[in-house]
Amino acid sequence: MQRNFRLTRSTDFKRVRRNGKSYAHPLLVLIAIESEKNLSTTRVGVAAGRSVGNAVKRNRAKRLIRAAARELYPQIKSGYDLVFIARTPIIQVKMPVVRTAMQELLLRASLHKNV
């Protein structure tokens, strides 16, 4: 995912986590909020806590989420800040399962363009 489409600052992560609406799935959690800068792009952040596992497992989980987000990015509505948080079972699944879970969350959040 290109850097200008990613949430990178901790203040942005905190704002999304504090004020955003969350949607849960067994593999990951989506927290979404409209961008306060009213950007024409959607920015995506990825997090994986220590409950997911050691550093190797956390990094794999984040790579899976970023890869799925990269594929689905053209289908996401513009003007939002999104944070995807990995849950422990994500390290046991493959990429297509993560992509399907992400699509379900985007549909529930009404952020999928093909709705």
- Please report the pLDDT score of residue 8 as a whole number: 82
- Please report the pLDDT score of residue 115 as a whole number: 52
Diameter of the chain by CA atoms?
A: 37
Q: How many other C-beta atoms are found inside a 10 Å radius of the C-beta of residue 84?
A: 28
- Please report the pLDDT score of residue 3 as a whole number: 67
* pLDDT < 50 regions, the chain: none
> Side chain identity at 90, as an amino acid letter?
I
- Please report the pLDDT score of residue 5 as a whole number: 82
